[in-house]
């Protein structure tokens, strides 16, 4: 088997972000980011993967909207409406 070269993708190009990546992108600590999420002042994470296995990640576009002062809540609501409709 031939080893595939590792592809590096910058955080700015990703669609989903880990907690550490989101914190780095917006310039806060991971503990402060958790606090913002808990208070509803930052986009919530979504579960990615199967029901029993997977991980929680942020939607990158929502995180960027938060960082730019745009209406990230509307993006979250639209995402939830689409999920509820399916």
- Report the C-alpha gap between 25 and 43 in whole angstroms: 14
Instruction: Look at residue 76 and tell me if it is in a domain.
Output: yes
Strand, coil or helix: 72: helix
Burial (CB < 10 A; 0-12, 13-18, 19+), residue 12, is exposed
Residue whose pair of structure tokens reads 């990703």 in the numeric block: 14
Instruction: Look at residue 3 and tell me if it is in a domain.
Output: no
Domain containing residue 56:
15-85
Instruction: Look at residue 46 and tell me if it is in a domain.
Output: yes
Q: pLDDT value at position 39? A: 98
Angle at 80 between CA 14 and CA 85, to 5 degrees: 120
Locate 24 and state its tokens. Answer: 């780095």
Q: pLDDT value at position 31? A: 97
Instruction: Look at residue 50 and tell me if it is in a domain.
Output: yes
Instruction: Look at residue 42 and tell me if it is in a domain.
Output: yes
Q: What is the pTM of this model?
A: 0.80
CATH number at residue 31: 1.10.1660
pLDDT in tens, the chain (86 residues): 566 665 555 666 679 999 999 999 999 999 999 999 999 999 999 998 877 888 999 999 999 999 999 999 999 999 888 888 87
Instruction: Look at residue 72 and tell me if it is in a domain.
Output: yes
Instruction: Indicate the number of domains in the chain.
Output: 1
């Amino acid at each position: 088997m031939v080893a595939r070269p590792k592809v590096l993708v910058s955080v700015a190009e990703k669609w989903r972000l880990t907690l550490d990546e989101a914190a780095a992108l917006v310039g806060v600590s991971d503990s402060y980011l958790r606090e913002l999420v808990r208070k509803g002042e930052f986009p919530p994470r979504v579960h990615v993967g199967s029901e029993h296995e997977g991980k929680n990640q942020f939607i990158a576009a929502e995180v960027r909207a938060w960082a730019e002062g745009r209406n990230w809540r509307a993006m979250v609501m639209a995402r939830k409406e689409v999920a509820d409709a399916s």
